Amino acid sequence: MAAIAFIGLGNMGGPMAANLVGAGHAVAGFDLDPAALDAARAAGVTAAASAAEAAAGADVVVTMLPAGQHLVAAYEGGLVAAAPEGALFIDSSTVDVASSRRAHAFAAARGMSTVDAPVSGGVAGAVAGTLTFMAGGAPEAVERARPILAALGRRVVACGGPGAGQAAKLCNNMVLGIAMVGISEAFVLAEKLGLDHQALFDVVSTSSGQCWALTNHCPVPGPVPASAANRAYAPGFAAALMLKDLTLARDAADSVGADTALGRHARDIFAAFAEGGGAALDYSAVIEAVRRG
């Protein structure tokens, strides 16, 4: 069992840290928010007074922070310096590829092993320990991370070198965002053509238009009882987070000169929806923006 520092104990990090405790690891945690720290303490995490205090003596340092600037600030602001040389750093936040690579390089230059391991599966997956990790880093670092991540998820996909996990995550979520807009357009077109929601679902879910977003997160109430559409679009996966991921995808595409016209268009649709009051709703509520036109 390992001594693990866990930095960022929010909606995702809190339950992940609790699952590491449940697997028998000694977890020292830190969060800027005292309420998040208290909740983690109640789950068996040892509350530290700072990120550096949590990292002192750690074999493994896991971060689950909002965005790239928080990651870089934490790494360069004392987290890496506080950890023993040779510690394994796992960043599971969703961040831009450039910040991820900067964090890798900073920690590696100080003798650390580093993995970027963003997740798919959301808060429900974090609680249930069923996340999928997309891992980037040296093969030996990824192999070293596997037994730790096994307590948190079902799959670890090795994607390549530093930042490759983040690249995979933003490509995947760009597909998801485009798919949800496409499905929403189909339902809105069906409504205007007088076609019943259930009939459209029954056809598309068993035909060539079938996709995960439709069969899991159907944007209209009825066909998929567990979808957010049945509970007034309470998230789920908030539209604000989808906007974050589509913006990361757009910026990454710009940085390498990739033409991702549909990803960019989906991002703009989610931006208008979020700015119009939809940010806290489930991302499938974007159908309301499509309906408004």
Which positions are catalytic? 169
Long-range (24+ apart) CB contacts under 8 A made by 66-69 are 66/8, 66/10, 66/93, 67/93, 67/94, 67/95, 67/96, 67/99, 67/244, 68/95, 68/96, 68/98, 68/99, 68/100, 69/99
Q: Which residue in the set 8, 129, 137, 163 belongs to the binding site for ligand NAD (CB under 6 A)?
A: 8
Per-residue mark of binding to ligand NAD, 94-113 (x: CB under 6 A): x-------------------
Candidates 1-9, 21-29, 203-211, 274-282: pick the segment binding ligand NAD (CB under 6 A): 1-9
168: nearest Cα among 103, 117, 216: 117
Candidates 62-70, 141-149, 159-167, 249-257: pick the segment binding ligand NAD (CB under 6 A): 62-70
Cβ burial of 27 (10 Å; 0-12, 13-18, 19+) is: buried
**Of all helices (H) and strands (E), which one includes residue 157?**
strand 153-160
Number of H helices, E strands in the chain: 14, 9
Residue 6 in contact with ligand NAD, rule: CB under 6 A: no
The residue (of 187 and 237) whose beta carbon lies closer to ligand NAD is 237
The residue (of 119 and 176) whose beta carbon lies closer to ligand NAD is 119
The residue (of 79 and 186) whose beta carbon lies closer to ligand NAD is 79
CB of 41 to ligand NAD, least distance (A): 14
**Number of chain positions touching ligand NAD (CB under 6 A):** 26
Residue 136 in contact with ligand NAD, rule: CB under 6 A: no
In order, the DSSP letters of 51-79 are: HHHHHTT-SEEEE--SSHHHHHHHIIIII
Residue 215 in contact with ligand NAD, rule: CB under 6 A: no
CA dist 62 to 39, 55, 72, 77, 200, Å?
18, 9, 14, 15, 44
Q: Which residue in the set 28, 119, 204, 269 belongs to the binding site for ligand NAD (CB under 6 A)?
A: 119
Three-state secondary structure of 178-239: HHHHHHHHHHHHHHHHCCCHHHHHHHHCCCCCCCHHHHHHCCCCCCCCCCHHHHCCCCCCEH
Candidates 119-127, 143-151, 224-232, 261-269: pick the segment binding ligand NAD (CB under 6 A): 119-127
Per-residue mark of binding to ligand NAD, 238-267 (x: CB under 6 A): ---x--x-----------------------
CB of 190 to ligand NAD, least distance (A): 29
The residue (of 61 and 87) whose beta carbon lies closer to ligand NAD is 61
Residue 12 in contact with ligand NAD, rule: CB under 6 A: yes
Q: Name the 3-class secondary structure at 95.
A: coil
Three-point CA angle 130, 223, 283, nearest 5°:
55
CB of 289 to ligand NAD, least distance (A): 20
β-strand 153-160 against 88-91: which pairing, if any?
Answer: unpaired
Footprint on residues 65-84 left by ligand NAD (CB under 6 A): 65-66, 70, 74
Give the CB-nearest residue to ligand NAD.
10
Per CB under 6 A, residues contacting ligand NAD are 7-13, 30-33, 36, 51, 64-66, 70, 74, 93-94, 119, 122-123, 237, 241, 244
